[in-house]
Structures are given as structure tokens and as C-alpha cells.
Amino acid sequence: MPSKWVPLEASPDVFNEWAQSLGLPEHPLSFQDLFSLDSDFLSYIPLPVKAVLLLFPSRGELHAAREKEEAEAPEWDGKDVWWIKQTIPNACGSIGLLHALMNLPDGALKEDSPLMKFKKESLKLEPSARAKLLDEADFFEAAHISAAQHGQSAVPEDLDVDTHFIAFIEGINGKGEKRVVELDGGRKGPFDRGDCTSLLHDVADIVRDKYIARAGGDINFNMIVLAGERQD
């Protein structure tokens, strides 16, 4: 396995190819661009929204704020959230995809697919053991390399990047309350971002307040949703 992977392009086409080759059916869910955080635009995103992926600039004030959050954050007290520690440099895009797909409800992935087989094997493992299992999984590296090669952007010469992918899903805490859960392989575990009344709208608020506002004018953001059928 290479010491550093080529970062994945933030492209729904790339993400759909990655996911569908490993077990996500073509219907009814797909990865789709999220071009605006305006509430009127959000209302046009087809339901259900099962996950939101965010690519952000992990540097400066924003990076410092997230490190402070990480140091002060309590452990997630909820249940049934699948999370894995990232141990492969530049694999945050594929880790984000895993976090989105592994937390889908039963039946959403093809039963005999590589993703479903990996999920079943990993459920009984602690996050560190999951990471080791993933490091040894041939399907993961092959899918990442294939997806990276099929992107539209040129492969960067310098593989040391300071942008980062994370995923947001809906989770249930120990009190039975719906919460927005941030899943980042670089954190110490699932991160509780607060009440979840509408995953998409709540994540939009979080991204505006906790990410864009702290980025010092840096506009290197990209968002993709895993949602229902397109309404083209």
C-alpha cells in the first residue's frame, strides 16, 4: 500500500463510481453537488438526505478552532454510529465515503458487495482494529486509485495537501435525541454537532458558523450530498 495516496477529487461522478463499484445500488440514492447553502436552494435537494460530505481548507484559524474543539469534546454517548480512524495519508475522501455509506440503514447496500462484507466484518471491531482491517483490504486501495484516476482534475505533483473531507450524518444519542454527527477519521471519534431537525439545513448552519466563518476568507470549500433521486 502506498505511503501517500492521490487525494480524491470532490466530484459526485467520482464518488458515485467509487460507491457503486463497491455495493451502492444506482437507485434510489446518489451523490450530488450542493452548490449553495441558501435555504431556498436546499429545498430543491431531493429527499431523503442520508449524508453530507464537506471538503474544507484545514489550515489557519479554522484548523486551530477544530483542534481546540477536539481537545475539549466529550466522547460520543450515542449508539449505532460506524466510525473508523484514518491511518492512510490523503485517504480522507475515501474515509468520508465510508462514513457516509457504512451508516446507511440495513438493505441500502448490496448484500454480497465488498462494502457490505467489510461492514459485517468490522462491526465487531474497535476503531483501531477496523483501521487495520481496512489497511489490509484490497478493495479499498483499488477503488481509491481507480476513482482518483477518473477525476477531471490533474494529479497534484505535491501530495501533501491541507484540505480535508468529513461527513455528517444523523445519529441518536444516549437520551434518544436526534443529533448531527460529524464523522472525521482524524478526530478521536464521532463528534456531536447538536440537535438534528433537518440534516441538510442543520449541516448548512454548521458549515456557515463553524467552518466558513473561521476560514478567514478562504473559499476552498466543496459540499456533496448523498440523497434521493435527482429531479432533473
Provide the annotated active-site residues.
92, 164
Residue whose C-alpha is closest to residue 140's, from 20, 22, 8 = 22
- 137's grid cell: 483490504
* Beta-bridge partner residues of 222: 55
Centre a 10 Å sphere on the Cβ of residue 11 and count the other Cβ atoms it contains. Answer: 20
Residue found by looking up cell 436546499 in the block: 42
Calculate the alpha carbon distances from 8 to 91, 94, 163 in Å.
8, 7, 11
Calculate the alpha carbon distances from 109 to 16, 105, 112 in Å.
13, 8, 9
